[in-house]
Amino acid sequence: DAMVIQNPRYQVTQFGKPVTLSCSQTLNHNVMYWYQQKSSQAPKLLFHYYDKDFNNEADTPDNFQSRRPNTSFCFLDIRSPGLGDAAMYLCATSAGAAPDTQYFGPGTRLTVL
Amino acid sequence: DQQVKQNSPSLSVQEGRISILNCDYTNSMFDYFLWYKKYPAEGPTFLISISSIKDKNEDGRFTVFLNKSAKHLSLHIVPSQPGDSAVYFCAASEVTSGTYKYIFGTGTRLKVLA
């Protein structure tokens, strides 16, 4: 089945220790998104790639970076995690053509100690 | 300032009855709306969508209504089933720099009572 896969599902890191979350897709979609979701809040878009074009949201902290080495994979790097970065991180993909629907992975729950 | 609002954080409905989940938005440029369902420890799952050129879209037990003048959409689930218990997010999108960007509401937790 075509899908969006996120690894790991649960990640524990220490304050200030860099961490990388990964996302892969078999949908061959052009666009990949990273969202941060904290408890009882709406998913918040961090950035997205349209093919290789990177689009950062204005309020995404510099601490968050992303890489997309090919169509299938996208990574979220948190350079120096703080306690406030503990959240669920959701990866999503879309075809990039109207009408456009996003498909989400299961998410990675990040804990910062 | 939230552009997409779900003002009811939770809703309880008896099995077999209708569930109505509401969503309001402020940006008249939004042209495509989606509903997602989310179970605990899983990512949101796409449920149903509606384009701004329509006022209703139906898929089985799920119907979404769009009132553009009121900037309001609603999701109707009839009949409600215990398996529908989940958090429901509405999302609105507009094209920005050639890409669809999505703004999500904070979600409504639906509990269907057996």
Q: pLDDT tens-digit profile of A6-23? A: 999 999 999 999 999 999
Q: Quote the tokens at residue B49.
A: 């969508």
pLDDT band at B89 (very low <50, low <70, confident <90, very high): very high
- What number is the average pLDDT over the span A73-102? 92
- A1, pLDDT greater than 80: no
Nearest chain A CA: its distance from B110 CA (Å): 14
Contact call for A55 and B97, based on CB within 8 A: yes
- What number is the average pLDDT over the span A98-113? 90
Nearest chain A CA: its distance from B73 CA (Å): 17
Residues of chain B contacting A92 with CB distance shorter than 8 Å: 43
- What number is the average pLDDT over the span B63-92? 96
Contact call for B4 and A42, based on CB within 8 A: yes
Contact call for B104 and A6, based on CB within 8 A: no
Q: pLDDT tens-digit profile of B100-109? A: 788 999 999 9
Percent of chain B with pLDDT over 90: 81
Give the E-state strand segments of chain A in sequence order. 4-7, 10-13, 19-25, 31-37, 44-50, 53-56, 64-67, 73-78, 87-94, 103-104, 108-112
- B61, pLDDT greater than 70: yes
A-B Cβ pairs (cutoff 8 Å, strict): 66
Greater pLDDT, B41 or B51? B51
Q: Could you tell me which chain B residue has the CA closest to the CA of A10?
A: B41
